[in-house]
Amino acid sequence: MPARPVGSVEVITGSMFSGKTEELIRRVKRAILARQRVQAFKPRIDDRYDPHRIVSHGAISVDAIAVATSASLEERILDTTDVVAIDEAQFFDRGIVEVCDRLANRGLRVIAAGLDQDYLGRPFPPMPELMAIAEQVTKVNAVCSVCGGTASRSQRIIPKATTVLVGGSESYEARCRGCYEPREVPPAPT
């Protein structure tokens, strides 16, 4: 073993319900089994479930720290940490790219999960940049809720005219390329 391990950035990406969080948790649990010291983070904006845990749609979870910015994430990294896991990375500011790069340069293993596209099918910053600097990118797929095919898109099914709408199956469903309808959902009449 080298005295100072070589760090890396791994990205797990795909649509909603594609198993990004499950895959992140799987890697975290294996790292803990290997006696690595892990710190897991999520953006404070993602308040769908427990604020102190990363929880998948299938209800598996790990402890996590909710932080508002990439700077506050970086400040909380302990000297003893080997692995940093980040869920919902698309909700972080662009500084998350440099933070992940710096941590990897210091020898840490960084695993970041997040949406590759928003609900209009547009690349979801800062995920494209994160994917570019990563050593390894894993794309995962959901099951299309219309035809049962391989889903790669997140279809917003309720009206709300903002890019960021934190929600689950009440607001979004997974769709394949053929069943996905890229359109602005008109705001509900007031």
Chain positions contacting Mg ion, by CB under 5 A: 20-21
> Which of the residues 10, 23, 74, 88 is marked catalytic?
88
* Region class of 168: left (phi > 0), else alpha (psi between -120 and 50), else beta: beta
Give the CB-nearest residue to Mg ion.
21
> Which does residue 16 bind out of ligand ADP, Zn ion, Mg ion, none, counting CB within 5 to 8 angstroms by kind?
ligand ADP
Question: For residues 89 and 99, which CB has a smaller minimum distance to ligand ADP in the complex?
Answer: 89
The terminus-to-terminus CA distance of the chain in angstroms comes to: 63
> CA-to-CA distance for 106 and 82, rounded, in angstroms?
10
Based on CB atoms, which residue is closest to ligand ADP, 99 or 113?
113
x/- map, 117-146, ligand ADP, by CB under 6 A: -------------------------xx-x-
- The residue ranges that bind Zn ion (CB under 5 A) are 144, 146-147, 149, 176, 179
Interface with ligand ADP includes 178 (CB under 6 A)? no
DSSP class of 91: G
Work out the angle at residue 116's Cα, subtended by the Cα atoms of residues 138 and 27, and round it to the nearest 5 degrees.
35
d(CA 74, CA 92): 12
Smallest distance from the beta carbon of 126 to ligand ADP, in angstroms? Answer: 17
Tell me if residue 181 is catalytic: no
Token pair in block for residue 9: 């950035």
Of the pair 21, 90, the CB lying nearest Mg ion is at 21
Name which of 60 and 179 has its Cβ closer to Zn ion. Answer: 179
Rounded Cα distance, 154 and 15, in Å:
5
Residues forming a β-bridge with 26: none
116 token code pair: 């590759």
Q: Which of 19, 74, 104, 134 binds ligand ADP (CB under 6 A)?
A: 19
Pairing of strands 83-86, 38-43: parallel
Contact positions toward ligand ADP, by CB under 6 A? Answer: 14, 16-22, 56-58, 142-143, 145, 174
Q: Cite the active site residues.
A: 88
